[in-house]
Chains A and B, each alone.
Chain A
Amino acid sequence: MHSRFYGSRLFDGFNVIILTLLGVITLYPFWDTLVVSLSPLDDNLSSAVHLFPRHFTLAAYDYIFGMKELWTSYGVTIFVTVVGTLISMLFTVLAAYPLSKSSLKGTRVIMFLFVFTMMFSGGIIPTYLVVKNTGLMNSVWALIIPTVIFTYNLILMRTFFQTIPESLEDSAKIDGCSDVGVLFRIVLPLSLPSLATITLFYAVARWNEYFNAIFYITDHDLWPLQLFLRGMLFQNEAAYMSGGESTFLLGPSVKMASVMAAALPILLLYPFFQKYFVKGAMLGAVKE
């Protein structure tokens, strides 16, 4: 009995150590990057593990916030995040609601056709050609429209709508509410936590968007934040290596300040919105 008790205690001890280590491994890269961005160049060029800045300076931030390109890319990303998320939510909610009614004729077929696109796709090139032909090249709309609905989010939203008791909707209909009225006056107010979750899923994806931009945006004035960051991190190295004109190398402080400029909004808001993401994971788990 005693040995079992101590064995269990020993396990608890190890468990806490392992999990704490995982936490440190997750957070340290962010911390190290922050420290480098706040340190003068000379400190960063000497090899060391950075726990705290030895000399504190905001010079790197002064430099990047003085760049016009940073502000235009913030503008593009904020537009895509706000407008893109609103449109995506509208499309997703409007489709998820009728699809949540399995009694409505045709919805099963339509749902199957939507989900099928997760299993089979025409591929990168045919999609690229469609975007090109629909006139979205070098337009911020290319960062929104071609991925306006995430099928996974649509499934989550539909699953949630299915949990709302139909009797509530029926009584509203008897009071003379139309289908649209029921959705906006009865169903949506009951779904606020789920709406928040899915809104955040879209918003984070739009904020992090770089993929469509690589394909569809060649005009540097329309680069979103993530492409600006990519340019700061990798592009000048490539230009330097290939012996291009730009032989000016950005120091680690400036590069890491750009990383922080792109990551900070997410990092600062994360503690407030993370519980909604757990809710999203739960919705997904319940579905299965």
Chain B
Amino acid sequence: MSTPENKLVLSKVSLPDKKVLRKHAALRYVWKHRYMYLMLVPAVIYYIIYHYVPMYGAVIAFKDFSITKGIMGSPWAGFEHFQYLFGLDKFWRVFWNTVQISLLRLVFGFPLPLIVALLLNEVRRQLFKRSIQTIIYLPHFISWVILGGLMVNLLALDSGAVNSMLHGIGIGPIGFMSDPTYFRGTLIGSMIWKEFGWGTVIYMAALAAVNPQLYEAAMMDGANRWQRMLHITLPGIKSTIIILLILRLGSMMEAGFEQILILYNPAVYSVSDIIDTYVYRIGVTEGQFSIAAAVGLFKSVINFTLLIIANRLARMTGEQGIY
């Protein structure tokens, strides 16, 4: 019976059989865990529609997009929009504004929470420590609009508390909200005021995980407070510092869209118009979707590249990185 032809036929038949079996195994696995997979469905749909479709939609940066023709129907434009942008003074101004404001935020905003956390960590009275910690991160939970209101009040030219005090020592009045010389300082200062407390809490949470026995052992060995801070506290939160730094570097192109959109005005555009506000104005307000999308894509690509580089650097120093 088993002629060579038959064997050939048999093996031909058995091949798809195995496939079907394997398929069945996979199907059985999915069926067994069907409720688990069903639970994922709402999230998957959300991420597809509001994250992955926009990623595809970014191709309009390479098209002459018009709402009536849609993404597919609009004609290709290649790199035309990018060429146009790179030749535009305005574009480079918002680019450098973004980089400069972001660097200022990093330089002045990054060290402060760390310093405050180290200071708080030295406080022995628990009630005082907890009270200060609770007070300083309150501003993290108010909106930029409310903060804008507090600033309008505090920094008002004629009757604000800050200008009143400056007047007392013979300075001003200073247009913190309207003078291009001071506006960036106002942006950085208000950002720090709003966020340093929350940054401190994150470091305090990391510090709570440091083994107290290390401190006891160091004290027995005669280490003073400064030495304990340098050799136990700092190494204990080193990885938290590095991760926060990676995230910060990975978002160098984020200069505080929500903040600036509330606080800026045409008088200070020259020093505070950033990529995001520019995209908002030419895209949403003026309807130049393709050019605005090109600017946005340019920004996303830079952010992504910086994040990869920062993560590499962190790994090179022996840290875990974020992925």
Interface residues of A (CB under 8 A from B): 4, 8, 11-12, 15-16, 18-20, 22-23, 25-30, 32-33, 36, 44-50, 90-92, 94-95, 97-99, 101, 104-106, 110, 113-115, 117, 119-131, 134, 145-149, 154, 178-180, 183, 204, 207-211, 214-215, 226-227, 229-230, 233-234, 238, 252, 255-256, 258-259, 262-263, 266-267, 270-271, 274, 277-278, 281-282, 284-286, 288
- With A22-B116, A123-B297, A270-B141 known as contacts, the answer to whether A94 contacts B43 (CB < 8 A) is yes
Complex Cα–Cα for A114 and B153 (A): 41
Q: Distance (Å) between the CB of B112 and the closest chain A CB?
A: 10
Q: Let me know if A120 and B36 touch, CB within 8 A.
A: no
Q: Distance (Å) between the CB of B162 and the closest chain A CB?
A: 9
Chain A residue nearest in CB terms to B143: A208
Q: Let me know if B239 and A126 touch, CB within 8 A.
A: no
Q: Let me know if B46 and A148 touch, CB within 8 A.
A: yes
Does B85 sit within 8 A of A, measured CB to CB?
no
Additional A-B contact list (14), CB under 8 Å, known A113-B52, A179-B35, A210-B262: A19-B120, A26-B138, A47-B164, A48-B159, A94-B43, A95-B44, A98-B39, A119-B250, A125-B279, A126-B293, A128-B284, A145-B46, A208-B145, A262-B149
Return chain A residues, CB-CB under 8 Å to B197: 26
Q: Let me know if B123 and A16 touch, CB within 8 A.
A: yes
Does B154 sit within 8 A of A, measured CB to CB?
yes
Complex Cα–Cα for A145 and B160 (A): 40
Stretch at the interface among B14-22, B99-107, B128-136, B179-187: B128-136
Complex Cα–Cα for A38 and B143 (A): 22
Chain B residue nearest in CB terms to A227: B145
Interface residues of B (CB under 8 A from A): 29, 33, 35-37, 39-40, 42-44, 46-47, 49-58, 60, 116, 119-120, 122-124, 128, 131-139, 141-146, 148-154, 156, 158-161, 163-165, 167, 193, 197-198, 201-202, 204-206, 208-209, 224-225, 239-240, 243, 250, 257-258, 261-262, 265, 276, 279-280, 283-284, 289, 292-293, 296-297, 299-300, 303-304, 307, 320, 322-323
Q: Let me know if B205 and A32 touch, CB within 8 A.
A: no
Q: Let me know if A44 and B148 touch, CB within 8 A.
A: no
Q: Let me know if B153 and A91 touch, CB within 8 A.
A: no
Q: Let me know if B297 and A284 touch, CB within 8 A.
A: no
Return chain B residues, CB-CB under 8 Å to A106: 37
Q: Distance (Å) between the CB of B298 and the closest chain A CB?
A: 9
Q: Let me know if B300 and A149 touch, CB within 8 A.
A: no
User: Of B49, B132, B153, B323, which is in contact with the most chain A CB atoms at under 10 Å from its CB?
Assistant: B153
Q: Let me know if A286 and B283 touch, CB within 8 A.
A: no
Q: Let me know if B35 and A15 touch, CB within 8 A.
A: no
| Sample of 7 A–B contacts (CB below 8 Å) | A29-B151, A36-B153, A130-B57, A229-B146, A259-B150, A274-B137, A285-B206
- With A36-B153, A130-B53, A146-B50 known as contacts, the answer to whether A119 contacts B307 (CB < 8 A) is yes
Q: Let me know if B152 and A178 touch, CB within 8 A.
A: no
Complex Cα–Cα for A288 and B197 (A): 20
Return chain A residues, CB-CB under 8 Å to B53: 122, 126, 130
User: Of B37, B51, B243, B322, which is in contact with the most chain A CB atoms at under 10 Å from its CB?
Assistant: B51
- With A114-B47, A259-B150, A288-B240 known as contacts, the answer to whether A226 contacts B123 (CB < 8 A) is no
Return chain A residues, CB-CB under 8 Å to B119: 15, 18-19
Q: Let me know if B148 and A99 touch, CB within 8 A.
A: no
User: Of A16, A28, A134, A259, which is in contact with the most chain B CB atoms at under 10 Å from its CB?
Assistant: A259
Q: Let me know if A178 and B35 touch, CB within 8 A.
A: yes
Complex Cα–Cα for A122 and B152 (A): 34
Complex Cα–Cα for A229 and B150 (A): 12
Q: Distance (Å) between the CB of B192 and the closest chain A CB?
A: 10
Complex Cα–Cα for A100 and B119 (A): 37
